[in-house]
Amino acid sequence: MLHEIQYTTDESLFQYLTKGDEKAFDVLFLKYYPSLCAYARQFVEYDDGQEIVQDVMVWLWENREMHTFEISPKSYLFKAVKNRCLTLISRNEIKQRIVNTLYDDQQLRYEDPDFYIVEELSRKIEEALQRLPNSYREAFEMNRFQHLTYGEIASQLNVSSKTVDYRIQQALKLLRVDLRDYLPILLAII
């Protein structure tokens, strides 16, 4: 009964709260939780509002010794909830802008006809390379993709530089024949 009399005003609740009185915190929580959730609902979804109110109340309890209120405790709680709601809204807007930017970039990429041409051409080149005899393909890839000289390739493959030259020339001839329909497209893109 004595505690109930002591908790009649918000100021007394907050005084006991700052001293670590758990009962005062429980009374404060039960008193304001529903109205703070309803207030938060004006700004954010119900679930987000509940989470924000719970965060504010937990923060209030964990930092109870540091509180000196320049405004009424009730006003403090509502202001804290509003500020956290606005912070959440701001974060969500930033996330949405990032998502929109990424989506727009992807849309532009896929709407660009060159994207599909390059994809198709890359696939055709890979298929043509796979059809080359292994010795031609190996020499060609070492030269064009690994940027090795004929001499470096020759020493790795234990063949002469002339053999490397011949294999690369033969690979180029076969690729020209295999990709003849795509050469105009390749030249247009480059």
Q: Express as a percent the part of the chain with pLDDT over 70.
A: 84
Q: What is the pLDDT of residue 53?
A: 96
Q: What is the pLDDT of residue 2?
A: 42
- The CATH class of the 112-189 domain is mainly alpha
- The 10s digit of each residue's pLDDT in 36-64 is 999 999 999 999 999 999 999 999 898 88
Whole-angstrom distance, CA of residue 5 vs CA of residue 11:
13
Terminal C-alpha separation, the chain: 87
Closest CA to 52 of 91, 5, 13, 12: 91
Q: What is the pLDDT of residue 115?
A: 66
Average pLDDT over residues 111-116: 66
Q: How confident is the model at residue 92 (pLDDT cuts 50, 70, 90)?
A: confident
Rg (CA), the chain: 36
Q: What is the pLDDT of residue 96?
A: 83
Closest CA to 168 of 127, 132, 125: 132
pTM of the entire predicted model:
0.50
- The CATH class of the 2-109 domain is mainly alpha
Whole-angstrom distance, CA of residue 175 vs CA of residue 87:
59
Are the folds of 2-109 and 112-189 the same? Answer: no
Domain boundaries, given as residue ranges, for the chain: 2-109, 112-189
